[in-house]
A and B are shown apart, each in its own frame.
Chain A
Amino acid sequence: MNGRYVVRKIGQAILTIFAIVLLNFLLFRMMPGSPERVLLRNPFLTQEKIAQVRKEWGLDKPLIPDQLVGYVKATAVGDLGYSLKFRGQSVVDVVASRFWPTVILIGLAEIIAIAVGLSAGAYAGWRRGSTGDRVASGTSLILYSMPYFVIGMPLIVIFAATLGWFPTSGMLTPGANSGSFVGQLGDFARHLVLPLTTVSLGLIGGYSIIMRSSIIETRSEDYITTARAKGLRDDRILRRHAFPNAMLPMVTIIAINLGYVVAGAITVEVVFNWPGLGTLTVDALSSRDYPVLQGVFLLLSVAVVFANLVADLIYGVLDPRVRT
């Protein structure tokens, strides 16, 4: 792959991350009351800590450029401040403990949604107008119009409250830490099913609609007629000619969509009381724990930018035309 393409994309990503840090800095300054009062509101900080924090944050220096530089430097080494709610724990610690549940939830959901949504959309679009297409498209359209938590709540009522197949909330059953590893894994899996289904369904709705229209457009391309003229079988034409081309815009769409998936995942975590970054955000919101809120914003933004970068590089692999 062309080195210039890679370098350009990485450069853009770095610029964006810097803009995020800058935005975070501005938000920090926008907080009601001066920052030190916010930080110092925590009664558990010792005097030494207070003085240290003042010095670290450079609160006695002028705003720009010194405070900005100080903020950037602190962020770069991973010092994001201290949580207001969690009594002196650093933001990094608080966020880290909630990181993996969210990543597992979103990551698995994306994988499922890509596999199911792209295939369903491709088949629906290829056999446009068929019964299968109409059913699939109608379902997708409805799913697409439903906020994730609107999908999740009925699932709880039906599968957890009424049928009792799955727990209604949480990630692990309290007290299950003492069981075997397999037992714990099974417990985790049982708790994961409903939230995972919820996020996956929400994503599948959108992905299959967009993939369907992408395949429909691809189908009218001349090289598909060439493939038909070659006497190739219909499913081979779909698999090897239509799909690889129709998938290209999907890569971009999936990447752009990540910002919205974050929003959806937050609400799903809230509905299912899933102990991830989403519930952390909402808790921090209600207690106005700004440092944690900003830490989450920084982390999620950087993660999304990084994922976009990966998507751009993948696109470069899939579409030979952008490499030159």
Chain B
Amino acid sequence: MTDVADLVRPDGSAIRGRRQWPLPKLADPTAPLLVVDGLTVRFSMPSGSVKAVDDVSFRLDDGEALGIAGESGCGKTTTALSLVQLLPANGRIKAGRVELFGIDLVPKTERQLARYRWREISIVFQGAMNALNPVRRIGEQIGEPIEVRLGVPRDGARRRAEELLELVGIPRKRAAAYPHELSGGMRQRAMIAMALACDPAIVIGDEPTTALDVMVQAQILQLLETLRRELGLSLILITHDLSVIAETCDRVLIMYAGRVAEEGPVRRVFTAPRHPYTQKLLAAFPNIHADRRTLDVIPGLPPDLRNPPPGCRFAPRCQSAMPVCTEVVPPEVRFADGVRVACHLYPTGDAAAPAARLPAATEPAPPGPAR
């Protein structure tokens, strides 16, 4: 983790770390990079209001990589999109703060948000075939934010685009290619190059490797890691694949049904998970090194978010559920080893090692580089 160093340049403009561009005008140079507090997002649908994200909080520091994990529909993508308010028309942020350098982005209008989009927070989407404009060359698409958002003249923008392509391992001359002329892995690299175009502070990767085969996936992850080190990027990686998080991330946020289940340093959470859901999630990943055992399955289905169960949303499927779990929303508790949990099994945060194991649980082995 880099320190928040070099806060002020000789000419007085505020910078951070290895950042090239000045901070936004309203930024507080001493504030943490990103603080999300109590984020709540609702979707209004004809069949009711879907409480997709409920009171989610986390923090991202300079140069950190945070992984957000969970099943499909748990709200991880929605959380990420709502950071820059890219929700579809029927989605609304109902409550919470999203503070970038101390600037709250939630009350901002589309126009005001434009300043922060891509220049501070950019996104690498899943399935780059659809996320890239099929009738424009990739060099042009990468150069577009440089030209339009940063005011760089066109040929300068194109040159920078070519540099970025080289950075991600694509030959310069492919800048004239159209998206359909590239392989899946190269398209994903092009998306990464595009995400880096304005030198953002945070890059969000929304399932960036899910559509790729394993070999390419490894290359992309390695690329992300290299870029993070060399450029001092901060990363938010969204995925349902825990092994990806284990390889690349410093901290992990486990979400279930729109709420935070557990959050903390990757090693801690993966070796000694506290929340029953986390334990089940890890147990569902067979480890190539461990003894052969039956595959652990979580019975039941995630709740219907139009009418989520009262209290803890995991309670209906939880083997350790207690009466209080179906009545009261579990409060978040912080442990000394840096882990946060929201579960009634842990009413207070004590300094001791991970709490009591579930009687029926088997020892979850850490999901190492099993792939």
Contacts and interface: CB of A to CB of B under 8 A. Distances in A.
Interface of A: 221-223, 225-234, 236, 240-241, 244-245, 248, 318-321, 324
Given A230-B149, A231-B114, A321 B178 contact: yes
Contact of B130 (A222, A233, A240, A324): A222
Given A320-B180, A321-B180, A229 B133 contact: no
6 contacts: A226-B133, A230-B122, A245-B135, A319-B134, A320-B134, A321-B178
A63 to B, nearest CB: 51
A221 B132 CA distance: 10
Interface centre among A223, A230, A321, A324, by most chain B C-beta atoms within 10 angstroms, is A230
Contacts of B114: 231-233
B324 interface: no
Nearest to B115: A231
A88 B135 CA distance: 55
A319 B135 contact: yes
Contact of A229 (B110, B118, B136): B118
A-B pairs with the 10 shortest C-beta distances? A231-B117, A222-B130, A231-B114, A222-B131, A223-B133, A320-B178, A230-B118, A230-B145, A231-B118, A226-B131
A12 to B, nearest CB: 24
B192 interface: no
B148 interface: yes
B178 A245 contact: no
Contacts of A232: 114, 144-145, 148-149
Contacts of B149: 230-232
Nearest to A231: B117
A316 to B, nearest CB: 12
B118 A236 contact: no
A244 B137 CA distance: 13
A245 B110 CA distance: 24
Given A222-B125, A226-B125, A324-B181, 6 more contacts: A222-B127, A222-B130, A223-B134, A230-B117, A231-B119, A241-B133
Interface centre among A225, A236, A319, by most chain B C-beta atoms within 10 angstroms, is A225
Interface residues of B, number: 28
Interface centre among B116, B125, B132, B134, by most chain A C-beta atoms within 10 angstroms, is B134
A231 B144 contact: no
Contacts, number: 73
A244 B135 contact: yes
Contacts of B113: 231
A223 to B, nearest CB: 5
B135 A229 contact: no
A234 B113 CA distance: 13
B41 interface: no
A245 B135 CA distance: 7
Contacts of A244: 135-136
A227 B131 CA distance: 9
B123 interface: yes
A244 B119 CA distance: 26
Interface in B126-184: 127, 130-136, 144-145, 148-149, 178, 180-181
A234 B123 CA distance: 18
B201 to A, nearest CB: 14
Interface centre among B118, B123, B125, B133, by most chain A C-beta atoms within 10 angstroms, is B133
A120 B125 CA distance: 32
B86 A225 contact: yes
B202 to A, nearest CB: 12
Contacts of B65: none
Nearest to A242: B133
A221 B135 CA distance: 13
B282 interface: no
Nearest to B137: A320
Contacts of A248: 135
Given A231-B118, A231-B119, A223 B145 contact: no
A225 B119 contact: no
B12 to A, nearest CB: 26
B52 interface: no
B35 interface: no
Contacts of A324: 180-181
B84 interface: yes
Contact of A228 (B86, B127, B178): B86
